[in-house]
């Protein structure tokens, strides 16, 4: 029968600890990069939306000006 109070003790050597710390630092750096990349992608998307809106507004303005001031037709 197993005893309920059995505990496992894990011994971490100093070389393993330094290696583990290095891996944690690399992981944190990778997460930071992915956050930066995500922000860059979001900015690119929003910039595209703004450019699309401006071009649509310019087209609507040009159409409105043409309807208000029609070009004179050539008389024969």
Give the pLDDT mean for 34-51: 93
| Angstrom distances, CA of residue 9 to CA of 2, 6, 31, 55 | 17, 10, 31, 67
User: Quick check: 32 pLDDT over 90?
Assistant: no
pLDDT higher at 74 or 51: 51
Give the pLDDT mean for 13-29: 85
| Angstrom distances, CA of residue 66 to CA of 36, 40, 58, 63, 75 | 45, 39, 12, 5, 19
Tell me the whole-structure pTM to 2 decimals: 0.49
Closest CA to 13 of 25, 23, 21, 4: 21
H or E element in which residue 48 lies:
helix 14-68
């Amino acid at each position: 029968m197993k005893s309920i109070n059995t505990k496992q003790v894990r011994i971490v050597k100093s070389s393993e600890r330094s290696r583990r710390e290095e891996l944690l630092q690399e992981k944190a750096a990778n997460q930071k990069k992915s956050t930066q990349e995500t922000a860059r992608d979001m900015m690119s998307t929003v910039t595209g939306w703004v450019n699309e809106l401006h071009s649509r507004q310019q087209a609507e303005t040009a159409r409105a000006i043409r309807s208000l001031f029609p070009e004179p037709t050539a008389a024969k």
